[in-house]
Structure 1
Amino acid sequence: MRVIVVDGNDNAGDALVHKLRLRGHHVDRKRRGSDLLVTHHRYHAVILDLDLPDMSGLAALRKLREVSSVPVVVLTADTDERSVVRALRSGADDYLVKPPRVAELAARLYAITRRLPVAANPEPTKVVVAGDVRVDLEAETVEVAGQEVQLTRVEFAVLRALLEQPGAAVSRQQLLDRIWGDAFVAVSHSLYVHVNALRTKLNRPGLITTIHSYGYRWNPVAAVVNSADESMALSALAGRTA
């Protein structure tokens, strides 16, 4: 299991990393909450101390939950019930009081990383069809009205992220984190440019809609309406020229 330990205390953090490595885990350690927000996508689980040098652990956890559902075990020196409740309400999957017993921590890590049964993760759809738009996610090809459309690597990555949540709003932060690996990199304008290029190439108005001040949504109904309107227009044109 790949685990990241985020702890501002060098002695405690390094000791925990060493003990988890002895149990066969691949473990890295970071000191700051900002380090977690940049690198979390590389790990299967997070061990998060609440006392960090750049921000509170709870603030880091809330920011993390805006872009990721990676399992998190919170370590806290505070046994007060309110602190534990705040951590769980902020998105923690579990918590332990410091210093943790390593065997128990390892068991809890195993428990939270297998919390979703296999049946809850079905084989992803390989081909998505919306009207006359056909996307092959495995071959990474796109066809509109039977004609192949060439997308860049980033454009296809944006499209894939939207297709994985059809009809749902996907935030800009999620897209930045998914594609660039950092939800806080100043590339939001770049994302806007790629989305607009993708819309132009698909040429199906309303298929990718903007959610004001939030993000974007894949709207397959729009493709069906657009392709039907186009067919009707072609039929009418053929009738006039007959």
Structure 2
Amino acid sequence: MPATILIVDDDKEIAELIEVYLRNEGYALLKAHDGVEALEKLKRHPVDLMIQDIMMPKMDGMELCKRVRQESRIPILMLSAKVEDMDKILGLMTGADDYMIKPFNPLELTARVKALLRRAGYQQQAVPEGAIRIGDLLIDRESHAVKVRGIDVKLTAIEFDILYLLAGNRGRVFSSEEIFERVWNEAGMGSNKTVMVHISHLREKLGAALQTGDLIQTVWGVGYKIEK
């Protein structure tokens, strides 16, 4: 699976800039805009590395780093506009693994992220044979398992079969009758309502897995369409 990186910065423009460069490298991204929100994200999602600002509302980066270090050894890259050597030393003593001064070169930040993950022993897991990966979503046909960022999403057998059908045929337009025939193995006359109910449940479960609509855009935004 791709490494999951948590970006913590109250400056939305900087957070979005980091997100663009790291997403292009294939990483899965989470974002938080203060230390309190970051701790909540860490409770709900497995994270492989955290990039965090120091000056933030509600809880500053130093306190956040201390809290994280009480329970986790994930690599932490601190970002700060503070240029004094003592600030850098304090950040590293608090528990950060690396420290970059703003403004920074996004390419250098990407290189440092890769180096921190290497030192932490992170290795990208291979996709099982017969499985399909789309961004943070893994659909394993052999075990009938669906995971989002390593977290199980509980689907019914019908929901799984619909998802696997669509995921294996990205860009293709399916009618409700065709989905019914392929999944239920029966004639699809008058099947529109049945199929759409299952599609609705599937969307809700996948969206809830990330607690945002991002996954729906990732999965359904690449050409999955259903003719009504």
The TM-score normalised by the length of structure 2 is: 0.49
Between structure 1 and structure 2, the one with the greater Rg is: 1
The TM-score normalised by the length of structure 1 is: 0.46
